[in-house]
Amino acid sequence: MKLSERFRVRPGGKVRLADWDPDDTAGFRDKNAVRSKTEKNLKRLSELQYVLYAENKRSVLIVLQALDAGGKDGTIRHVLGPLNPQSCKVVPFKTPSEEELAHDFLWRIHHAAPRKGEIRIFNRSHYEDVLIVRVHDVVAKSVWSKRYEQINAFEAILARNETLVLKFYLHISQEEQLERFKARLEDRTKHWKINPADFEERKYWGDYMRAYEAALSKCNTRHAPWFVIPANKKWFRNYAIAEILVEQLSALHMKFPKPAADLSQIKLQ
């Protein structure tokens, strides 16, 4: 079974994250078992990006969502970092600015959507407006509960305009998150990442699980699928995402455009 099938959320189904094992490695024992496969996928991904840029007919949006220490930055660094920055950009979504709050919640998101020939990576995304907003009662339920339908409509617009939308939830256990927090405390080079609020958020784990389950269930469509990636093992997370990206981009059957000039008439002097 392809990894894109193994980890894809089935359309119309209700997600229970307890049914997804964050330690799953699809039968691979350790990072050495997938090292060459991962390297091959990264090389192929760069090739596909080049054709995407040259063809200039469509775009790709990669959404990364996870709890704190879930591995979004690591995924960007190890899987997407090798891509050509000329046509690949990372957009981090922080707390909305005053200007952004003066518009609808999707205003800043649509502004950041990829142009043709480009890959955009959302580090967090519009889903924060049905996650943290829901968990901490930032807005009333009557407001955030309508956003699932609005998100689906927004992603449908992107898909109809030749944007491939791929959404990854990096699934770690509560125990693994704690270990990663401890590692940050012990590593001076990672002290800058430490935010006391992240530790406080751990007491809302159950609330976040329910919020994610709702988002994964209500906003999973054929044109904008969710993938639940087991992320306790970083090496498998990287392999799985690279594999799925190669599968999905290869399925676009992209082609280099024909030359704009008659090459036979060009003479080298």
- With a CB cutoff of 8 Å and minimum separation 6, the contacts of 108 are 93, 96, 100
| Residue 98 pLDDT greater than 90, yes or no | yes
pLDDT score of 55:
97
Domain spanning 3-97+119-253: CATH 3.40.50.300: yes
Q: What is the pLDDT of residues 131-165, one digit of tens each?
A: 999 999 999 999 999 999 999 999 999 999 999 99
What pLDDT is stored for residue 12 in this prediction?
A: 85
Nearest to 221 by CA among 126, 152, 131, 143: 152
Q: Say what the pLDDT of residue 34 is.
A: 97
Of the pLDDT bands very low, low, confident and very high (cuts 50, 70, 90), residue 263 is confident
Give the residue-averaged pLDDT of 91-110: 95
pLDDT at 269 > cutoff 80: no
Using DSSP bridges, classify how beta strands 88-92 and 59-66 pair: parallel, antiparallel or unpaired: unpaired
Q: What is the pLDDT of residues 196-209, one digit of tens each?
A: 888 899 999 999 99
Query: What pLDDT digit, counting tens, does each position of 3-18 carry?
Result: 999 999 998 889 999 9
Q: Please report the pLDDT score of residue 267 as a whole number.
A: 85
Burial of residue 70, with CB atoms counted within 10 A of its CB: 0-12 exposed, 13-18 middle, 19 or more buried: buried
Whole-number Å distance between alpha carbons of 5 and 55: 27
User: Residue ranges of the domains in the chain?
Assistant: 3-97+119-253
Tell me the mean pLDDT in the region 77-103.
Answer: 94
- The average pLDDT across 57-65 equals 98
Residues above pLDDT 90, as percent of the chain: 90
214 pLDDT band, cuts 50/70/90, is: very high
